[in-house]
Amino acid sequence: MRPLQGALVEGTATVAPAAATDESDLLLRAARGDVTARTPVWLMRQAGRYMKAFRAYSEKYPFRMRSETPEIATELSLQCWRAFGVDGVIMFSDILTILPALGVEFDVVPGKGPAICDTLRSESRVAEYELAVDRFAPSDQLPFVGETLRALRQETEGKTTLVGFVGAPWTLAAYAVEGGASRHALEIKGMMHSNPTLAHDLLAATSDAVARYACHQIENGAQMVQLFESWAHHLSPADFSEFAKPYAQRVARYVNDRHPDVPLIFFANGGSSYLELQREMVAPDAFSALSIDWAVDLATARTVLGEGTPIQGNVDPSLLLASPDAVDAAVERCIAQAGGPGNRHILNLGHGVLQQTPEANVAAFVNAAKNHGIRRS
């Protein structure tokens, strides 16, 4: 797809928070496991359609034009930080952005989500995919990603943390096999159980591509990277252990070998039922922190993971549809369950911001974090 050329949508740019402060690296320090003076806060999917300024673009341009045009992607990435003062800016993109460079084209159908026609269901298609992974050169094939990150780093340097992200190997492979969103993930699970060798070949190739893509983001300005296992809820503990966990760890080790000072966060959507399997994923040569969904309270997660494990989360996104007072109470409760302010905890949601969320409630969420998250001792 040829990127859109042109100016920003008139009237949507806002003024960036001025001034570097001693809180500019709170997010980085918490992700590394430091006790911080305040609990940092950002939101998954914070660049989203709940914001009027964002909708000015989504109503005018299709998704891939927005995400693959650096000027627009940069503006969309910055909107939430400018409006609400979150402690991190995450690049506006998609976990599937890598796939066309690997020979798997996709489009985003309004109201339905991603659609992939030439799926990876046969041995011949997986073999073609492996060759594409061998040739994968992010700087040449995804130049808009590096350009967007460099522009964002220039805007945020010394003011806040720039966050990159990638899809986890199992989730990306599942999308490429299923052809889009799937209620039961029967195609990829059928491959896993009827032809596990093919599934492992696909996952190994995907992990190699994801690892290089994550490094590319870091080399272009990302200071922290989150790996999204968005389809973890489809997996039993045994399947997570065999088909998801080792390939996510493979990505983390590759990145850590090359960029040991960059924190990596792992988020398994639906993974709170097997936290004990994620515990050993946090290690000096693997992930720095775990992001927790809302299906478990953080006090329980702390018990399973250990007091020293950096965690992120985990307010239920639907609570941001309630009153600002309810949002405030949910934030206060979440910080307390994490062990109190600044206790190796990044306040976030247990999943992405819902489209229906009032902007006033995102403001309430961030303000509550800054009010209740101050460490007193």
| DSSP 8-state class, residue 18 | P
Token couple for 281: 């994923």
Q: Are 294 and 313 in contact (CB under 8 A)?
A: yes
d(CA 352, CA 50): 11
Residue 376: predicted pLDDT: 87
Residue 292: predicted pLDDT: 98
Mean pLDDT of 301-317: 97
First-to-final CA distance of the chain: 54
Question: φ and ψ at 249, to 5 degrees?
Answer: -65, -35
Q: Kindly list the distances between the CA atom of residue 300 and the CA atoms of 43, 212, 235, 318, in Å, as whole numbers in the listed order.
A: 22, 35, 21, 21
> How is the chain split into domains, by residue range?
39-372
Kindly report the average pLDDT of the chain as a whole number: 94
Q: Are 17 and 85 in contact (CB under 8 A)?
A: yes
Residue 11: predicted pLDDT: 45
For 238-253, give the DSSP string: HHIIIIIHHHHHHHHH
**Topology at the third CATH level for domain 39-372:** TIM Barrel (3.20.20)
Closest CA to 275 of 250, 300, 308: 300
pLDDT surpassing 70 at residue 356: yes
Residue 22: predicted pLDDT: 74
pLDDT surpassing 50 at residue 56: yes
Is the pTM here over 0.75, yes or no? yes
Residue 61: predicted pLDDT: 96
Q: Are 309 and 289 in contact (CB under 8 A)?
A: yes
Residue 9: predicted pLDDT: 54
Q: Are 177 and 104 in contact (CB under 8 A)?
A: no
Q: Are 39 and 373 in contact (CB under 8 A)?
A: yes
- Residue 39 — very low, low, confident or very high, per pLDDT cuts 50/70/90? very high
